Amino acid sequence: MQMKSRTQFNKLGNLLWVMALGVSLALVLSSCADKGSTEGEDDSGGASSSVDTAGMVPLPIVLPKAQFVGTPVNIAGVTNLEKARGKARPPFLAPAGVTNVALGKTVTASIEEPIMGEFAMIVDGDKEAMDGSLVELDPFLQSVTIDLEADYDIYAILFWHYHKQSRVYFDVVVQIADDADFVENVRTIFNNDDDNSAGMGAGPDKHYVEVNEGKLLDAGGQKARYVRLYSQGNNSDDQNHYLEVEVYGKTAE
């Protein structure tokens, strides 16, 4: 009899404990959910986010073949140089349905015709480091402008100047705008012109070595129709080059 009542007491105790555990678990889960959604909003398109927010997926990036391995050596004298990551770039999370909306769109430039290649090759999907894939522009400060032909929420801009050998391009400035002349609502996404030699203001970003991963910029989901990229020669010659520019976005609501 004594054994039985103790067993009943234990059962009641277990039941209460399980209920308490359930309530506290529910509280923890709901606070996690709140936190998750807040971080998701702050982090829309965040490059380094470790939070796998609901509806966010890695960009569908396809890389060209790597042409060299290890730390490049012929970049002596380049100041303010970004350290090599030494490992693959982490996936960039963006909302599901974000694609390369620059593919096949219209490209214009600060010059009439390129020295080599055609402007359309900047958005043709080919980013291999082959001579026949390269678009070469004149020396000095030059720019290319991509008309996305509609407003898009832009999450990332990814581009390759050249990656056959290690190189650093100078005065890399990337902007988005509402109009083709870059007067309306111009936003600068990247600027590594640390001495303002391009005349658009000194930028805080670092020089970087061109690799097959390309340069990936976080555009934060900002709405724009036009994307413009500047450069002013490189550490190997005075010319400006592009293999490909990709703009990851989705139709603006």
193 binds Ca ion (CB under 5 A): yes
136 binds Ca ion (CB under 5 A): no
50 CB neighbour count, 10 Å cutoff = 9
The nearer residue to Ca ion, 44 or 234, going by C-beta atoms, is: 234
User: How many whole angstroms separate alpha carbon 56 and alpha carbon 147?
Assistant: 26
197 binds Ca ion (CB under 5 A): yes
Using CB under 5 A, pick the residue from 205, 210, 218, 244 that binds Ca ion. Answer: 244
Q: Least distance (Å) from Ca ion to the CB of residue 29?
A: 47
Interaction residues for Ca ion, span 150-179 (CB under 5 A): 171
Region binding Ca ion by CB under 5 A among candidate stretches 8-16, 64-72, 96-104, 121-129:
121-129
Q: Least distance (Å) from Ca ion to the CB of residue 35?
A: 42
252 CB neighbour count, 10 Å cutoff = 15
215 CB neighbour count, 10 Å cutoff = 21
Note whether 183 and 177 are within 8 A (CB): yes
User: How many whole angstroms separate alpha carbon 80 and alpha carbon 222?
Assistant: 28
Q: Least distance (Å) from Ca ion to the CB of residue 81?
A: 13
The nearer residue to Ca ion, 195 or 237, going by C-beta atoms, is: 195
128 binds Ca ion (CB under 5 A): no
Give residue 140's Cα distance to chain centre: 26
Query: Going along 56-120, which residue ranges are E strands?
Result: 56-58, 93-95, 99-100, 106-109
246 binds Ca ion (CB under 5 A): no
Write out the residues near Ca ion by the rule CB under 5 A.
Answer: 121, 124, 126, 171, 193, 195, 197, 244
